[in-house]
Each structure stands twice: as C-alpha cells, then as structure tokens.
Structure 1
Amino acid sequence: MTQSERADIMTNSHAKSILNAMNALRKSNTLCDVTLRVEHKDFPAHRIVLAACSDYFCAMFTSELSEKDKPCVDIQGLTASTMEILLDFVYTETVHVTVENVQELLPAACLLQLKGVKQACCEFLESQLDPSNCLGIRDFAETHNCVDLMQAAEVFSQKHFPEVVQHEEFILLNQEEVEKLIKCDEIQVDSEEPVFEAVINWVKHSKKEREASLPELLQYVRMPLLTPRYITDVIDTEPFIRCSLQCRDLVDEAKKFHLRPELRSQMQGPRTRARLGEQQEKGLRGARALAAVVLALV
C-alpha cells in the first residue's frame, strides 16, 4: 500500500465517547480506584482521570505524598455540593455556573487546579459586571489570581465611575483603595464634579474616622478643571473644606488657575491634566462645533 492509499483520519466523537463511558463507570462505581471524601460524603472516582485533568491530583497520585496509595482521600476546603459539580466537569467537560455557586466554585477550582472551571467562572463573573458589584468582583479576582477578570473589572469601574461611586461597595472601600481609584487618569467622567462628590460622600459616611483623610484624598481631585461657579457655590460652602487649612489651600490653587490665566503654564501638573472622559467630551464638543461651522457654510 502506497502513502497515497492510506490516511490518518481524526474523528470528533472518540474523546466524547470515552468521557461518557468513564462517567458511566464512575456513576456505577465500576473500576473506581479511589474515593474522595468531602464533608463525610464519598465520591468514587478513577485516579488516572483525576490526574489527567488536575495538576493537584496528578501531584497527589504520582509523588510520594501519603495520599498516593490511599483508597480514600479526605479533601478539605470545599463543600460536598461543590465537589459534585467539579467531578461532573472532570468527567463531562461541562460546568453549570450560577450566581449562587460561583463564589464557592472559583476558589475550589483554584484549589484543585481545574483550569476549565476557573475560566468558566471568570467568564461568568465578567458577564455579571455591574456598577454595584464591579469593585467586589475585582477584589475577588485579585484574591484568586484571575488576572483577566481583575483587569476587566478595573476597566469597568473606570468606565462607569459616576455610577460605581453611588453604591455601597465604593463607600466601604478603605482610604488606599479610594485613592487608587480617584487618582486614575482613565476614569471616564464628563467633569471633575462626580470625583469631588464621591470623596465628600465617602468621608461623610464615617465622619469621625475619615475626616482626617480628606486633605490627602482631595489632592487627587482635579479642582482646577472645575468651573468657577462650582468652586464658589459648592466647594467653598462645604463645611469639611472650610474647616481644613490644607483643603482651602487646594481650593485657592483652583481659584488661582481661573483668575490668573497667565500663570497656568507654571501650574501644569496632575491636577490640571484632563481625565480620559473629559478629553473625549472636549473632542466631541470640538467635533460638534466644527460640524456646525461646516453646515453654516454649505
């Protein structure tokens, strides 16, 4: 037989057929050589299947760990219901992620090093991002080293900053986390007003503990970019501002920026640099103005 008379033919059904057969064997406790015990519930399984899907189990069954040859292995750190979901994934390639189980499922997937489940959980959480939960999801992702999800939540919080700061997750942040968010150039806001208001509302939520943090946080509010009317009518009348010399110095800087245009070139710095959203808004205003001129000339 010549080379042209033979061919290697791949089928799509073979792997799925094997998985289905192994799952049937597991369900009937046939040829199972290990039992996983979680919360006093037993889960029969096959060492080779577990080791093939999980680096955690591969290390357990191929190294000199005490569990290597044990017929029954206790698994700590997850619930029996979560173990059932994870085993179903190992044998079926399918995982059912819900709002109710994702917070248990993701840490368990990380513990047992089941990358497919971890990825499914991250994709699910990314689809659930909302102004009310994005900061919590970002922290959850960081805790479990889910880099892509953490970045997606970070970008979401920046893009929806005015809505995000209206929710409890923002109010409950510590000073360092608030500072990290408000100093970011990528915050998308039409003006600096929601940034100033977010800081004031955060301080007012716990006045005694947070009042001392106001001057430090206020330096990241780009007050020179606010309108003179907002500075005089809103900021000047805020009691927290009037009671702090450091805060009043920052307000005076903003007033000087407006009152002395000839000094603006010397005052350039982080507080006079427009954020992403402000830059986009200026660009849109410029485009609209140009379009109006063109239409007038036609």
Structure 2
Amino acid sequence: MAAAQQLGGRRVWVRHQIELLQRISRQREEDKYTDFTLKSKGKEFRVHRNVLAACSPYFDTLFQTNMMEQQSGMATLNFTSAEVMEELLAYMYSGSLRIQEDMVEELLKTADHLLMAEVKELCIQYLLEQLDVSNCLAMKALAQVYKADHLLKAANETIRKNVHAVIKREETLDIPLQSVQELLADDLLQVAKEEELFGYLVSWTKRDLPERKDHFPSLFSNIRLTDIPKRYLEEYVKTEQLVTESEECQKYIAKQTSTSEEESSGQLNARSGKMEEVVMVTGGVSRSPGNEEGTTEMLCYLPRKDTWCQLCPLNYAVTFNAIAALNGKVYVAGGRLWPENRVTSFVSCYSVVENSWTRVRNMSAKRANFALVPCNGCLYAIGGKSERIFLGGSIGEVPVTTVERYYEANHTWSYIPSMTKVCSDVEAVATSDHIYLTFGKDQNGTNIAGNGHLPYYNVKTNVWSKVSATCPISMSRGADDENQIMVSFLRDNKIHFLGLVDGDSTTDGFYQYYDIAADQWTAVTIDWPVFSPGVILPQNISLYTPVHNGNIFICCTLDNDNIGVNSEKTYYRGHMLTLKDKFLDLERTYTTTGVSSVRPAPTSSGCHLDIPQKHLRAFAKDVTMSMPLL
C-alpha cells in the first residue's frame, strides 16, 4: 500500500509485458512446458496451448471441445505453409510480425482461417500501401474473398479512376468472367471513351473465343452505346463479328439507339462516373473596346461538345500565371496580380468535386512567365521572372534560374538544383521521370532550346543535362525573320514542335520532333490550314495544352478586324484547333466566346484533364456564343 501511495495510487507495469513475452518465447525455444504440437507441410512446432488459445479464437474453441486434436495433443494445418506458420507463432510469442510481398496473401488467408483479426488487419494495411493500377483487380478479388471492406473500397476507387490504364494491361485479358461483368457494369467508372470498354470486351472474348463467346452478348449489354460516337458505332461496333453473329446483340443495339419514346426508355443512361474531356483556362487580361482588365474567370472548353462554360472564378485577378493538373485537381500558381502588376507567389487549388478554390502553400519564390509541370506525382515550378528591388527602391523583374518542387501530400515547396541559365517565358513537357524545356528566353531574349539542345531535368538523379542532338530547323519566337515555334508537346515518347517557317509565307509551316529514346531529330515540311483567305491562325496563338486522350488543343486569339468583323471592336475570341492523334492536320472548330465578358486572352494559361460529367452538370455555367466565321 505504501508503494502504491508513493506512486500516487497509479498501477504500473514497468517492463513486465515485454519481459513476460520474452520468457515465454524462450520457453518455447527450449521446449519447456510445451504441451501441444502443430504440424504444417511436414514441419512440427512445439507450442503452449494457453498461448495459442489467447491469440486465436480458432484454437480456443478447439481446446474446449472433445475433438481428436484435443485428445492427441496434435493438430495438422494443411491450409498453410511452414514458413507462414513460423511467422504467426513469432507474432504470438513476441508481438512482432514480418510481412513480405511474396507471402502476404497466404498470411492473410491463414490469419482469416485462425480468426486472428489483428494479423488480418495488418495484412490488409500492407496491401493498401501496395495498391496501384498494376494490382488493383487482384486486390479487389482478395478483398471480396476475405471481406476486407477498406481494401475493397480502395481497390474499386483505383479501378474507377484508372480504368483506361487498367483495361490496357495484358493481365486484364485473363481475369474471370465475374470480374469482367463487375467491371463493365460499374456505373461509377470514370471512363472518357465508352468505346474503349467495347474494345476491351472484344479483346477479352477473343483471348479464349471457344470458352468466352457465349458470354459476349450478356457482357455486351453493359456497354452504354449512347455514349459511343455514331461513326465508331457504325464502323466498328455494328461490324464486329461477335455482334453481327448474335441476335441478342442486334436487339440490344436497336433498343439502345432507338429514337422512339417507348424503346428509348429502356436505354442505359451515361455512367455517373463518365469523364468529360476539358481544357481549363484561367487568368489573363480581358480585352474589350477601349478597355483592358485582369480577369478572375475560370473557363472550361468541352471538345466533345465544342462549347465553353464557366466554373468557379479565382478570388484574385492574375496574368502571366501558370496552371497544371495533378491528381484530378487544378493548381494555379504565380503570375502578376492585377491591377498592381506585382509578381506573386500565390498558389490556389481548384477542386472539381466542390467547384471551389483553396489557397495552399505559397511558392518559395515569386514567379511570372514560368512553367508549372506535373511529373512523378509532384509539381515543378521552373524559372520565370521574379521581382527584384534595385538601388533607389525601384522594383523590376529579372529572369531566374531557380526551380522548386511541390509535394501535394504535405503541401510543401522545396528548392531543387537550379538551371544553368536564367530562363523566362518557360514551356516544358514531362515524361514519367524527366522534364524537358521546349522553350525559354535567356537574358538576351534567345530561346535556350532553339538549336534543339533541350535542357532537361532527371527527377530521380536530381541532375540537369542537355540533349546532345541538333534539330534540323532552328526555333525561336517573336522575330519575323526566324522560324517561329507555335506549340510543342509530348506524344509517343517524342517531343513534337509545330511552327511557321521563316515568316516569308503565312501558309508555310514546319513540323519536327525529337525521339527521346533514339536521341534523334526528324523534320517534315507541312502546310497549315487557313482560317479564312489570307489569314492563318498560328500567328495568334494564345495558349495550348499537353496531349490528352490523343489530342492537343490550341487556343488562338484573334481580333475582330482580323476576321472581317466590325473593326471598331477588338474582342478576343477563343478559336480552338484540335490536333488529332496520328494526324498532322489541324481540325478547326467554330466555337468562340463571342462578346461574352469572359474571353481567353494572350496572357491566360491552360491545362487539360478529365472531369466527371456529374460535376460539370452541377457547376458549369454556359458562356458559349457561336457565330459563323468568314
């Protein structure tokens, strides 16, 4: 009692639990007081009944019954390996568990059989940490077998968000029928192109045609035909042999494409998770007759519908900012605040789910005219112009060499190695682990990548280097007597450049690309499509976006007097061109923002991503005004 009073009446254990486990573990090693034997795949383990019963309800029940194992003092566990049993016994006697990739599934299976809930939960947590696109289907199957709700939910979310990548994996062609049925029937799949699911279904069926052919019609009924472009439906779906040979498929097509009210009522609606391909545009100067002002609007271009809409605006006006998409969110960083024209380090994040902006951690440096590039799960702010206070107190802008990286998980910016030269007006493209600068001006206004020796940063080695090969056509921007870069983009592991040749003809253009793997440049001469007689759009590029779903979108801003409209008005108009996959031709669309108060402008910035249609329907405000072009 005196000792308890000295300790304030508290109960203390010192190291009793740890020491007790250590002593019991040594007793097992020395085979002292052991009273039971476990056998697994030919190996015997001498153990204590009370330890087994305390750690596993399975053994606790076994020792309370008059079963053969209880009488013989021995149990054979044929459902697990000796290695896994050794790990579980180590956990029972020490509280320490070693989980490895090559044994986690069997460990989970055994823990489930022995009703060891804590071990099962540890295995599930390990699997959650390993979950990615490459194993999400297998993880889902495990979660369903062992009723792991958290793992099942996470696996489903991974499949839904990455279905495009999942169905392109070779092993997905070998998943069982039930898994294919669940995949195609999932209403929350964030699929941008329904025809990709049809293509996958055909490939899965033909993988083992004799066994799978009879299942094709029922699986085909999960394809939302009303979401498939008419041309694809006519040329590929209706002509597919698996479809033409099935009366059930023919009836399904007729029902889904029927225009009659009675028939169309049975159609499957668009998936709730269906993704809409969009181009996000924000910031810049909005120009109208006799007036220019900074804009806070967030514009959204929908290529499939060739329309513009407006989402939640920023809470500050900014120009010469940068924008990038990362993990389904949109980040706007830096730029010059309007009307102060002061360079800022602000960073704001747009949630497509809530249609709202949140200020996140500022960049370490103030930047304008810089590149914001997503790569390997992070954002990189590269170069640009920053503010500097000169002698006498005047404030000016100077190009910089600094580069910083943003970690989304903890919202922090940190500097990484700087470039070897100052660089502003930066443009860049990224592979999985490299960032290539495709344009940038040094202190003399010269393009640092003009001769094709593109500077690039290796995110794994943390080192800057330069491409060694020289491009056939030197590139610049801003002078009439040089080859003018219009856009640069990454596709098929090649960096492509489009532009005008020498400025001596408004219809002559160049196309050249750098093959990263081969370290080689190739050039091709092409003709640009004209907007109207004598007018060519590439001279008036405002912004463009990286390749997405096979397309690149280019926003060209033209004054009215350039297109034959009332010359007293000088509204900017956002004409979008689409560079289709595997084609050099630009397909011009006819949508403009008309005389709306919202206009893409030469100082805007844009990025490309997919947004669930349900969010666009809930938040988007239509600002489209189409007009015939002369």
TM over 0.5: yes
| 1:225 maps to 2:222 | no
The answer to whether the 8 A contact 1:228-1:255 is kept is no
CA distance in 2, matches of 1:130, 1:90: 31
The answer to whether the 8 A contact 2:167-2:200 is kept is yes
Matches within 5 A, 1:1-298: 6-11=8-13, 13-68=15-70, 70-253=72-255, 255-256=257-258, 267-269=264-266, 271-278=268-275, 288=300, 289-290=309-310, 295-296=598-599
Q: Tell me by how many angstroms 1:52 deviates.
A: 0.8
For residues 72-130 of structure 1, give each alpha carbon's deviation from its aligned partner in whole angstroms, at most 9, with x where no partner exists: 44333222222111100101112111121123212221222222221122222222223
The answer to whether the 8 A contact 2:188-2:271 is kept is no
> What is the identity percentage for the equivalent residue pairs of Structure 1 and Structure 2?
26
Q: Tell me by how many angstroms 1:188 deviates.
A: 1.3
| CA distance 1:216–1:73, change in 2 (3 Å) | closer
The answer to whether the 8 A contact 1:136-1:169 is kept is no
Q: Write the letter of the residue equivalent to 1:275.
A: S
Q: Tell me by how many angstroms 1:251 deviates.
A: 3.8
| Counterpart secondary structure, 1:276 | coil
CA distance in 2, matches of 1:73, 1:201: 48
| CA distance 1:29–1:199, change in 2 (3 Å) | same
Q: Tell me by how many angstroms 1:272 deviates.
A: 2.6
Unmatched 5+ residue regions in structure 2? 282-297, 301-308, 312-592, 602-630
For normalisation by structure 2, the TM-score amounts to 0.41
| Counterpart secondary structure, 2:58 | helix
Say which structure is richer in strand.
2
| CA distance 1:239–1:77, change in 2 (3 Å) | closer
| CA distance 1:38–1:232, change in 2 (3 Å) | closer
Return the index of the structure with the highest Cα Rg.
2
Root mean square deviation, CA, Å: 3.4
Q: Write the letter of the residue equivalent to 1:296.
A: R
The answer to whether the 8 A contact 1:36-1:45 is kept is yes
| CA distance 1:284–1:192, change in 2 (3 Å) | farther
Unmatched 5+ residue regions in structure 1? 258-262
| CA distance 1:287–1:226, change in 2 (3 Å) | farther
The answer to whether the 8 A contact 2:255-2:267 is kept is no
Q: Which has the higher contact order (CA 8 A, sep 6+)?
A: 1
| Counterpart secondary structure, 1:8 | coil
After TM superposition, the structure 1 stretch with the greater mean CA deviation from structure 2, 246-255 or 112-121, is 246-255
CA distance in 2, matches of 1:159, 1:195: 14
| CA distance 1:196–1:143, change in 2 (3 Å) | same
Q: Tell me by how many angstroms 1:55 deviates.
A: 0.6
| Counterpart secondary structure, 2:310 | helix
* Residue number in structure 2 paired with 1:260: none
Q: Tell me by how many angstroms 1:252 deviates.
A: 4.4
Q: Tell me by how many angstroms 1:11 deviates.
A: 4.8
The answer to whether the 8 A contact 1:224-1:253 is kept is no
| Counterpart secondary structure, 2:105 | helix
Q: Write the letter of the residue equivalent to 2:64.
A: T
Number of aligned residue pairs: give it: 292
